[in-house]
Structure 1
Amino acid sequence: MDHKKTVLRGAFLLTAAGFLSRIMGFFYRIFLSRIIGAEGLGLYQMIFPILALALSVTSAGLSTAISHQVSRKNALGDKRGIWNIFFAGAAFSLLLSFLAAGLLRSYAGVLAEVFLKDVRCEELLKYLALAIPFASLHTIVTGCFIGRKKTGLPALSQLFEQLVRILSSLLIWQIFQEKGFAPTPLIAVGGMLASEILTSLLTLLLLLFQTPVFAPPSLSIMRKSLEKLTEIALPISGSRFFLGIFQSMEAVLIPLRLRFFGYSLSEAYSHYGILTGMALPLVLFPSAVTGAVSMLLIPEISEADTLNDRQAILRTARSTVAGCLYLGIFCTGSFFLFGKELGLFLFQSEEAGSYIRILGWICPFLYLGTTLSSILNSLGKTTAVFFQNLLGILIRILFVWFGIPRFGILGCLLGVLFSQLTVALLALRTVFEAVPEMEFDLKDLLMPLLFLGWSLCLITVGDGIMSTFFPALLSGIEQSPVLLFLRVGLFTAAYSFFTLYFFRTHAQGRS
C-alpha cells in the first residue's frame, strides 16, 4: 500500500505541476502571439526541432538510462552506486553538450540559410546553442530524481522554469520597448535561455543537498557506469536523433509546402505559427497527466522487471491503457465541442479554433502511444519503439509533402491524426506481445464512449433550456467567457461523475 501511495503521490505531484506549468505557458503563448505575432511565433517554433535534435544526442537517452539504472540501485539501497551513475552520466552529457553548442553556434548561419530557409533564424540559433548544456544538465538531474522516485523536486523545477521564462521574456520585452526596438522572436529565445540556466543550477543544488555525495568515481568505475548507461541510452538517443532529423524536415517542409497551396512566405509562417504555437499546445495540455505517468512508468516497470514481478507489470499496463482511453475520449469530445470557442477566447483566432477541433481527435492515440512507449522502453523494447515512431513521422512527412499542396494545412492535420493512430496501435500490439497475460478489455473503450454520449446529451439539454429562456445569452457564447466556462465545467463534471461512479460500483462489485 505504501508503494502504491508513493506512485500515486508522484503522479499527482508531476501532474499538478504539469497542469500549472501549462496554464502559465498558455498565458505566455497568448502574450507572445500578441507581441511578436503569428509569423514571429512560427519562426520561434521553427528552431525547436534543432534543439530537440541536439538534446536527443546530449541527454534524452542518458536521462532515461539514468532513471532506469538509479531505480535499480535504489531498490538495492546502493547509494554509492546511485552517485556513480549520476556522476558518469552528467559528465558525459556535459561533454556532448559543449560540443553540440559549439557546432550549432559555428554553423548557425548555414543551418538558417540552407536548412531552415530563413536567415532570420541565424541569431535565434546562436542564442539557442547557449541553452544546450544547461538544458542537458537539467534533464540529467531530473532523471536521477525520477529514478529515486522523488517527484517533488522535478515538479517544483517545472514551475520554476516556466516562471523564470515568463518573467525573463517580460523583462527583455520591456528593455526592447525602452530601447525602441521592434519585438522579435529573440524575446522568447532569451526567456528560454534564462530559464534553462537558472533551473539547471537550482535542480543541481537541490540534488546535492538531497543525495549523499561521494568522491568522484575512478576512471574504471566511470567506464563501467557509462557502459551500463550507453547500453540503454544509445538505442533511445539514436532513435530520437533520427526522429529529430525527420521532425526538423517536417518543420521546414510545412511552410514551404504551404507556399505551393498559394500562400506567401509571411502567410505560410502565420499559419504554421497558429498550428504549432496556438492550437497544438492547447490540445497537448491534458498530456500533462500522461507525461507525468510516462516519467514514473520507467522506474516502476524497470523495478518490477528486475524483480520478475509479472503481475505488477500486467497491472500497470492494464491501468495505463484504460486511463489513456478514458482521458483521451473525454478530451476528444471536449475539443470537438468547445474548440471553436476556445480558439476565439484564448487567441482571438477562428482558424486556431478549427485546428483545435480537428487535432482533438488525436488525443486517445497520442496518450496511448506516449505511455505505452515508456512501458516498452522499460522492458527493453527500444528498437520496436524506434521503428514505430519512425513510421509515424514518415506518415506525417508524406501527408505534408503530398497533402498540403492539395488540401492546405488540413493535409498536415490529417497526417498527424493518421500517424498517431498508427503508432498507438503498433505500440499496443507490441505490449500485448511483451506481456502475453494481458488482454484488451472492450469495456475500456465502450464505457468512456457511453459516458461521453451522456455528457453530450446533458450539454444539449442545457443549451436547449438556455435558448428557450435566455436566447440573448446563448447567442453571445463566443463573446461570453463565463458561459463558456460554465458549459465546459458542466461537461467535465458530468463525464467525471459517470466515470467515478462506474469505477466505484465496479470496485464494490469485485470486492
Structure 2
Amino acid sequence: MEKKYNANVYKTVLSITLFSAIDQIGGFVYTIILSRAIGAQGLGWYQISLNIANLVVAISASGLPFVLGRRVAEFDAIGDKNNQHSALSAGLVIAVVLSLLVCFVFLTNKPLLEKLANSSQVAAMSLFLLPAALSNAVYACFRGALWGKKEYIKHSSLEIIDIVIRIVFALIIFEGFFTQYQGSLRACLAYSLSCVITSFLSFVFYKSCGGKFANPKGHFLPTLKSALPVSGIRLAGSFFTTVIAFLFNLRMTQVGYTSDVIMAEYGILTGMVLPLIAFPIIFTSAISTTLVPEISGNAKKGETEKVQSHLKKAIDYTFLFGGLAIGVYIAFAPQICDIIFANAKAGIYVRECCWIMIPLGVASLTTNLQNSLGLEYKSLVSYFAGGLCMILCLWFLPKYVGPNCLVVGTGIGMTITSIANVRIICKATRLRGNFGNTLLQVCIFALLSGLVGYTFCNLCNVLVNQTLSLALCCTICVFAYVLLATTFNTSECTLLIKNVKASCHKTKK
C-alpha cells in the first residue's frame, strides 16, 4: 500500500514537473520576444512596472492560494464539500474587494506614482497592468481551490495556457497593432489581456471539477487569519522587489553608472539572468505543489512518519536538482544565454552567480512546506530576515561587485531564509536529516560534472555546429552528475529514478 502511495506521488510530481518545464520554456520564449521587441532598457522598465502591479496582487490575494489550497484539502479529507465551497467564496470576496480598493488608490494618485517611480513611463505602464492585477487576484483563488482538490493537471495546465495566450497576444500586438502606444506599453497591454482571459478559464476549470459557491459566512476570519502571514511574505517580496529596483538604481548611480546603463543592466539581470538561474525551481515547485496538500492532510490525521518522510525527500530533491543545474551553468552558461537571449553577458552573470539557485529553491520549497504545517508566522520572520540581508548587500556591495550586487544579495538573503526555514521545520516535526552532508556532496558532483562537460566541449565543437555541440555537452554533463549521484546514493537519487521508471511503466500500461 505504501509503495503504491509513493508511486502515485512520484507520478504526480513527474506530471507537474513536465507542465512546469513547458511553462518555464514558454516564459523564456516570452522574455525573448520582449527583449528583442523592446530592448534591455525597455525590459528594465517593464520589470519595474510589473513589480509595482504585483504589489496589488500581493496586498489582495498573495496568501490566498496557499491558504485556500490547505483549507480545501483539509475539508476534502473529511468529506465536507459545503465548507470547501464556502472557503473559496470567502477568498474570492476578500480578493476582489481588496484589489478594487488598491486599484482605486493607484488610479487616483497617478502624480504620486510618477514621483515614487521617478518615471512617467513606469507610472503609465503600471496603470496599464492594473486589469492584470485584478484578474490575477481572482485567478489565484480558483487555482488555489484546484490545488486543494488535488486537481494537479488542471492546476498546472492553467499556467501553460496563460503563457501561450500571453505569447500569442505579444506576437499579435508587436506585429503592428496598437501602434499608438510605445513598445513597452504594448507589452503591458498584452500581459493584461492574457491575464483577463486566464482568469475566466480558471473559473471554468473550477466549475468543471464540481466546484460551487456557497455562503462565505464564518470563513472570512479564519481565511484572513491564515492568509495574513502568507500575504505578508508575498507582500514583503513584492515590496522588497520594488524597493530593490529603486535602491539598485540609486546605488549604481552613486558608484558612477549612467541611467541608461543601469536600466539596461537591470533588464538583463531581472529579465534574463534570474529567470534562467531560477529554472530548476520548476522541479521543487512540482514537489511542493504535490506534497503540500498531502502533508496538510497527513498532519491533520496525525500521521507524523509520512509527514517527516515527505519533508526529507522534498529538501533532498531540491539539493539534487539545484546541483545538477549548477554543473551545467558553470560549464555552459555563456553559450546558453548567447543562443537563448543573444546576450553572452547575461551568461557571464549566470556562471558567476549560479550558486544561488540552491538557496532560492530551498527557500521557495520550505516556505510552502511551512504553510502546509501551519507555520506561516515563523516563515514570515525568516523571510524578513533574508530580505533585510539582501537590502544591506545592495547598499554595501555595488562598490565592489557592480551590478552583480543584485544576484549576490538575492543569494545571501535566500541563504539566510533557507537555513531559518529548515531549522523551523526540523524543530516542529522532529525531523532529523543530514542535509549538510547532502549539500556538500551535490556541490562536489556539480563541479565534477561541469568539468566533464566542459572537457568534451572543444571536441564536440570540431565535429558539429555550436547548438548541437552545446546540447551534446549538456547531456554528457547531466549524465555524469546522475552517475555520480546514483553511485554515492546522494539525495535518494536511485530511489527517484526507480520511481520515475515505475510511474512511466504504469502510464504505458
* TM-score by shorter chain over 0.5: yes
The alignment's TM-score, normalised by the length of structure 1, stands at 0.90
Residue from 472, 483, 495 that aligns with 2:469: 483
Match of 1:209 in 2: 208
Q: Secondary structure at the match of 2:120?
A: coil
**Which residue is 2:103 aligned to?**
101
Q: 1: distance between equivalents of 2:261 and 2:118?
A: 15
2:161 matches 1:160: yes
CA distance in 2, matches of 1:189, 1:445: 40
- Which residue in the other structure is 1:296 paired with? 290
Q: Does the 8 A contact of 1:53 with 1:245 survive in 2?
A: yes
- Which residue of structure 1 aligns with residue 387 of structure 2? 393
| Per-residue Cα deviation, 1:455-503 (whole angstroms, up to 9, x for no partner) | 2453355347x2xxx7x728xx9x8111111111111122234435645
Q: Give, in angstroms, the shift of residue 400 of structure 1.
A: 1.5
Give 2:197's aligned residue: 198
- Aligned 1:57-456 pairs, distance under 5 A: 57-111=59-113, 113-176=114-177, 179=179, 183-213=182-212, 216-217=214-215, 222-440=216-434, 443-456=437-450
Cα distance between partner residues in 2 of 1:429 and 1:63:
25
The worse-fitting range, judged by mean Cα deviation, of 371-380 and 397-406 is 397-406
Q: Give me the identity figure in percent.
A: 24
Alignment correspondent of 2:504: none
C-alpha contact (below 8 Å) 2:143/2:155 kept by paired residues: yes
SS of corresponding position for 2:279: coil
Partner SS state of residue 263, structure 1? coil
Q: 2:37 aligned to 9, 30, 35, which one? A: 35
Which 5+ residue runs of structure 1 have no aligned equivalent? none
Query: How much has 1:453 moved relative to structure 2?
Result: 4.7
Check conservation: 1:283, 1:360, Cα contact below 8 A. yes
Judged with a 3 Å threshold, the aligned counterparts in structure 2 of structure 1 residues 151 and 132 are, in CA distance, closer, same or farther, namely: same
Do the aligned partners of residues 505 and 422 (structure 1) sit closer, same or farther apart at CA in structure 2, a change above 3 Å counting?
closer
- Distance (whole Å) between structure 1 residues aligned to residue 79 and residue 314 of structure 2: 28
The one-letter code of the counterpart of 2:345 is E
Residue type matched to 2:163 in 1? Q
Do 1:108 and 1:125's aligned partners in 2 also have CA atoms closer than 8 Å?
A: no
Do the aligned residues in 1 keep the contact of 2:457 with 2:470 (CA within 8 Å)?
Answer: no
Conservation of the 8 A alpha-carbon contact between 2:278 and 2:360: no
- Alpha carbons of structure 1 residues 223 and 274: separation in structure 2 relative to 1, 3 Å: same
Distance 2:281 2:416 in 1: 18
Spell out, residue by residue over 1:180-239, the C-alpha distance to the aligned partner (whole angstroms, 9 max, x if none). Answer: x5752112211111111111111101211211536x32xxxx231112211211121233
> Which residue in 2 is equivalent to 1:23?
25
> Could you tell me how far 1:105 is from its partner in structure 2?
2.1
User: Is the 1:14–1:154 Cα contact (8 Å) retained in structure 2?
Assistant: no
- Conserved in 2, the CA contact under 8 Å of 1:176 and 1:183? no
Q: Match of 2:500?
A: none
Cα deviations by residue, 1:296-344 (Å, 9 ceiling, x for unpaired): 3321221111111110111011101210111111222221211111122
Tell me if 1:473 matches 2:475: no
CA distance, structure 1, for counterparts of residue 225 and residue 26 of structure 2: 37
**Alpha-carbon contact 2:328-2:450 (below 8 Å) kept:** no
Please report the TM-score for the alignment, with normalisation by the length of structure 2: 0.91
What stretches of structure 2 of length at least 5 have no aligned partner? 498-509
C-alpha displacement of 1:379 = 1.6
Report how far residue 450 of structure 1 moved.
Answer: 4.7
Task: Tell which deviates more after alignment, 294-303 or 122-131.
Answer: 294-303
Of 120-129 and 236-245, the range deviating more from structure 2: 236-245
After superposition, the C-alpha distances for 1:405-457 in whole angstroms (9 at most, x for unaligned) are 44321222321221122111111211221122423255523443454354245
Equivalent residues of 1:287, 1:367 under 8 A apart: yes
CA offset digits 1:90-148 (Å, max 9, x no partner): 1221111222222222223421x222111111221111111122111111111001101
Amino acid at match of 1:193: S
Provide closer, same or farther for how the CA distance between residues 98 and 275 of structure 1 changes in structure 2, counting only shifts above 3 A.
same
